[in-house]
Amino acid sequence: MIAPFVDVDWVEAHRAGVVLADVRWYLDGRSGRDAYEAGHVPGAVFVDLDTALTAHLDPAAGGRHPLPEPEAFAAAMGALGIGDDDTVIAYDDAGGVIAGRLVWMLRVTGHEAALLDGRIGAWRGELACGPAARRVDAGETDRDPAEFTARAWPAERLATIEEAAAASQIADTRVAPILIDARPRERFEGEPDDLDPQAGHIPGALSVPCRENLAADGRLLPVEELRARLDFGPGADVISYCGSGVTACHNLLAMEQAGLGPGRLFPGSWSQWSRDPARPVQTGAGSPS
C-alpha cells in the first residue's frame, strides 16, 4: 500500500493512475463545494463530508459525524466514479485534517489512498520553496459511475465510547489504551464553543492537536519529528478522537507515516461523549503530551 502522504511530484508522476478527491469542509459553515467549484486540481471530484462520509444519526448516539453504513459509503464512492481498484489522492485547504477522514476510511477497508502533502496550496505553488503554480479548474468534474464494493469497517481499527470510557479510568498507560485528542489545545482545555453541549476533554486524554503535525507552510513534519510527537511506546494501543471523528484521522495517518502502530478511531469522539451527562468531563491542560 502507498504511504499515507504523497507530494505534488508524486501526483504529477502518477496522474493517469489516480483519482483526485477534493474534501474541503469548514467548521464555520462555509461551503466546501463552493470553494471546490471556484478552483480545484484538474480532474478532482468533490467529496462532501456531510453526505458521503457521514451517517445521519442522533448526535447523542453517534456524534456529529458518525461513520456511514458500508453500503452507503460504497454507493457514494461509486457515484463519484471511484472504483474498487482506484488509487485516491485526497486534499483540502487545511493541511489534510479534513481530507484525512476519506483517506483513513479508504485505507482501513483495503483501498489505496493518500493525502496530498501541503494541501491544495502545494498544487497552486503557494508554499515557500515549493513547486511552481499549477493550473486549477473551475466548475464540476464528472466521472462515470464505478463499481465500489461495500466492506465492513474493521472492528480492530475502531473504539467504542465504552472502550474510551474504560481507557479513561486506568491511569497506568502500560496496560491501558492511550487516548489522544486531536482538537486545538484551547478546546481540549475547556474553551466554550457552540459545537457541543459541554467543553473540555475525556479524563486522562492527552492533547495532541493534529494541526501540530504540520510545519508552518502546511506540509507534514519530518518523520523524526512525527515520531517524537506520536510515539507512545512499544505496542501502545492508541485511541484517537477529536470533535466528531474527522480530524482524529489525521493523527492516525501521521502515526502510520512515521512507522508507528495503526491506532484506533473513536468515531463519536467528543461530540458523542459530551452529550451524555453521565460521562465525566475534565478541563485544563490535563496530562502532559
Q: Which sequence positions are flagged as catalytic?
A: 242
Sign of CA dihedral 63, 115, 193, 30: negative
State how far the alpha carbon of 25 is from the alpha carbons of 95, 194, 252, 282, in Å.
12, 17, 19, 28
Reduce the DSSP state of residue 209 to 3 states and report it.
coil
State how far the alpha carbon of 238 is from the alpha carbons of 83, 161, 248, 266, in Å.
31, 14, 11, 10
Which candidate, 264, 221, 272, places its Cα nearest to that of 59? Answer: 272
Question: Helices 223-230 and 248-257: crossing angle, nearest 10°?
Answer: 120
**Element housing 166 (H / E):** helix 161-168
Q: How far apart, in whole angstroms, are the C-alpha atoms of residue 91 and residue 98?
A: 8
Amino acid at 256: E
